Structure 1
Amino acid sequence: MVLALAIFVFTYIFIAGARLPFLKLDRPGGALLGAVLMVVCGVVTPAEVFNHSEDPARHAIDADTIVLLLGMMLLAAYLSQAAFFRTAGAWAVRRARTPQVLLVAVTFISGALSAFLVNDTVCLMLTPLVLATVEEAKLPPVPYLLAVCMGSNSGSVATFTGNPQNMLIQGASGLPYSTFAAYMALPAILSTAIVAGALLFLFRYDLPVFRFEPRPPPPPVDRGLLALTMVVLAGVVGAFFLGLPMSWSALAGAACVMALSRREPREALDRVDWVLLLFFSSLFVVVYGVNKHGWAEEIRLLFAPMMQGPAWKETLGFAGLTLVASNLFSNVPFVMLARSWVPTLQNVELGWHVLALGSTLAGNLTLVGSVANLIVFEAARGKVNMTFMNYLRVGLPVTLISFVAGLAVLLAEHALF
């Protein structure tokens, strides 16, 4: 049905960040309109949208991914209420004695937290603290803000719960959490180290050489809530490694904290990014409509010449396509589309790993390549004016070097193990 492709292209205009003069829609609004058009025009039935069919292949929305994202957001919200993020940031600031060490510390803390918590949430929590710290120390804010978002993107490669696109890959691939983390941990660590090193080099003339003694006031920590949430989060991650259902493990953990914290749940619920969940649900419907009528396969065949030949050439072609397309269409929508392509590759497991690596590190290339980037620089609006080209000057070398290095590690791991 040509109508399905037309709605898909119309939706992707908004997802790619473009604007139509007669419609003032952003990405979530464009995705929602596309989903509604899919149903109104008869491409997708309401029963398929609401997963009423007993056949899982006729379920438009991947409920497991939505539930997993909701559960992790709630756990991050309770960590925020307990002042975990402010405490972690203050700890790093107290131990940094030079601007250079502080830059490295911010990069790795952002990456480490994003390995287990959703990177968008980590950026939202860390940005105000970093801004306050650099203002007090009279340091240029741009390199430290880049450390937050780029470190977060790189570190989130490590696990299925690091970012939304990895959650999508988990739902489609069925790979165990432990196996995925075993392969992706080293590329994530290496990519984060490259981000830190590149920022130190690119901003070597902007960072003053002196020792400072920043003394951020200790945040008021809710020790009881922090201990409860950390214990539950450790149990949730343990459940992931044991192979229990990830979505319900995360939501059960969030419900446990909600029941035992003796706090009104509304504050945590208000911190959930409901717009992001709506965006995901709408995209699921749009991509399902395209898949239903065979257009996803037609799109794959369009790019097939890039991936012909032996397995190594196919992998490199798919990696390059992922890097470019994730910036043209945004990483989450591309992953939704490309999930049906990976099973056709010669090395399927490597294909899932390459899709996760490429779609995530692609977020460091441009300002609009990742939601995490937009969160950081929107929070800094009024203090920092980051343009597309200024970001690209840093993002291009950082992304290319980290992507090539991460891909080389992945290929070596698969060759050895």
Structure 2
Amino acid sequence: MLIAAFGTVLKPFLRDRFLHLLIVLGIALTLFQPAKILQFPQFVDWDTIVTLLGLLMLTKGVEVSGYFDFVGRKMINAIDNERRLALFLVMAAAVLSTFMTNDVALFIVIPLTITLKKLTSLPVTRLIIFEALAVNAGSLLTPIGNPQNILLWNKSGLSFLHFIGQMAPLALITLVALLAVTWFCFPSHSLKKLKSNQGYPFQKPLLVCCVALYLVFIACVDLGLALYGLLAVIVCFLLLARSVLLRIDWPLILVFIVMFIDVRLIVGLPVLQPAFAQIHGLPDYAHYLLSIGLSQVISNVPATILMINYLPSGALLAYAVNAGGFGLAIGSLANLIALRMANDKKIWLRFHYYSFPFLLFSGGAGWVLLALFAK
């Protein structure tokens, strides 16, 4: 039994090509900075890793409880039109991301969406792509919608409502555009319900335990005690449902750890230091394009951490790094979470078919809005 469990955990690591690419990149970068090997643990934001791991476990626990199957069946009985259901889930993802952060919103919406795949003919892969775009659009509105906004808000000195007022024009334009595209991409016809016995039987005690643990875990995170919250989650699952610990996406945790290290190694390359020194002297449009471009290469949170050393934490930087969440999947860590949760290799290419137009649209709209505000 122990060997089987080990195999269940190990196989995903062996098949994860994105993880392999990040490791190879990290090794190559380390060759230029071998002295930084001992600093690798300091490069990782362990609070983020602990929080992500706890949320992965709790989400998988709810999934194993069968609750998503239960809610999914109720939902398709209430909304049996493909377009209306797609609009509802995309809007739900956007709204949840404004006050629960984009990654937490995905942990709620995507497992529910995947459940619908077993119940209806809904094009789930396409819908998950739109939900990933939705949390990027929704989360840019508030100071707590995503990690880069939390940083920018703390540095800006703006009030909570003032920050929302600053971001509202871009959030509104981007979300309206997304809903319009959703309208056209999902036809208005009745969903074909599938007869499926897949899924887990509804285990109410496990669901109640997961909900209670979620509240405890979030409270621990808010109090700076995330590690203790994670230990509580692990102990409870060891006692109640050990299969949950085997079924979570362990390679995703390693992906995030390696990404933190790779980004710090890229930023620390000696050859790039003279270029960073010249950022101050660039015009505004170059600052804007550079912030978007860096988001595409190292993700928008590290790009914010880097650029805030050279730019004011105002609307220009906020618009740029939030628009930079679209485009390449790496532009936002929420994108990576959504695409990996979909567990569909084809989704990675399809995602960029929709995300690049939104990068151009959101980035262009942001620049026009900045020009209007300047006047």
Alignment TM-score, normalising by the size of structure 2: 0.68
Secondary structure of residue in 2 paired with 1:344:
coil
Mapping of 1:303-322 within 5 angstroms? 307-308=282-283, 314=284, 317-322=286-291
1:321 alignment partner AA:
L
Alignment correspondent of 2:7:
none
2:302 alignment partner AA:
M
1-structure distance, mates of 2:233, 2:16 = 37
Mapping of 1:187-266 within 5 angstroms? 191-201=174-184, 203=185, 207-209=187-189, 220-237=201-218, 244-245=223-224, 248-249=225-226, 251-260=227-236, 263-264=239-240, 266=242
Q: Structure 2: 5+ residue runs without aligned partners?
A: 1-14
Paired residue for 1:70, among 53, 58, 75? 53
CA spacing shift, 1:30–1:195, aligned 2, 3 Å: same
1-structure distance, mates of 2:106, 2:237 = 24
2:251 alignment partner AA:
V
Secondary structure of residue in 2 paired with 1:282:
helix
CA spacing shift, 1:258–1:36, aligned 2, 3 Å: same
Contact in 2 for aligned 1:75/1:233 (Cα 8 Å): yes
1:230 alignment partner AA:
V
1:151 matched to 2:117: no
Alignment correspondent of 2:309:
343
Mapping of 1:29-40 within 5 angstroms? 29-39=20-30
Contact in 2 for aligned 1:364/1:399 (Cα 8 Å): no
1-structure distance, mates of 2:172, 2:200 = 29
2-structure distance, mates of 1:293, 1:323 = 20
Q: Structure 1: 5+ residue runs without aligned partners?
A: 1-23, 51-58, 309-313
1:208 positional shift? 3.8
Contact in 1 for aligned 2:143/2:153 (Cα 8 Å): no
1:93 matched to 2:72: no
RMSD: 4.8
2-structure distance, mates of 1:291, 1:392 = 25
CA spacing shift, 1:219–1:45, aligned 2, 3 Å: closer
1:200 positional shift? 0.4
Alignment correspondent of 2:276:
300
Contact in 1 for aligned 2:93/2:109 (Cα 8 Å): yes
1-structure distance, mates of 2:67, 2:292 = 33
1:361 matched to 2:326: yes
1:119 positional shift? 6.1
Contact in 1 for aligned 2:54/2:217 (Cα 8 Å): no
1:79 alignment partner AA:
V
Q: Deviations over 1:198-228 (max 9, x none)?
A: 2103x3xx61455888999897433333233
2-structure distance, mates of 1:403, 1:76 = 33
Alignment correspondent of 2:257:
281
Contact in 2 for aligned 1:188/1:406 (Cα 8 Å): no
1:104 positional shift? 0.7
1:182 positional shift? 8.6
Higher mean C-alpha deviation, range 69-78 or range 143-152: 143-152
1:398 positional shift? 4.1
Paired residue for 1:104, among 61, 80, 87? 87
Paired residue for 1:125, among 105, 111, 120? 111
2:245 alignment partner AA:
L
1-structure distance, mates of 2:162, 2:70 = 29
- In the alignment of these two chains, the number of paired residues is 351
Q: Deviations over 1:47-102 (max 9, x none)?
A: 3224xxxxxxxx33333332232233223233333344444444432321422211
1-structure distance, mates of 2:223, 2:124 = 42
1-structure distance, mates of 2:138, 2:327 = 13
CA spacing shift, 1:34–1:261, aligned 2, 3 Å: closer
2-structure distance, mates of 1:75, 1:157 = 25
Task: Choose between structure 1 and 2: higher helix proportion.
Answer: 2
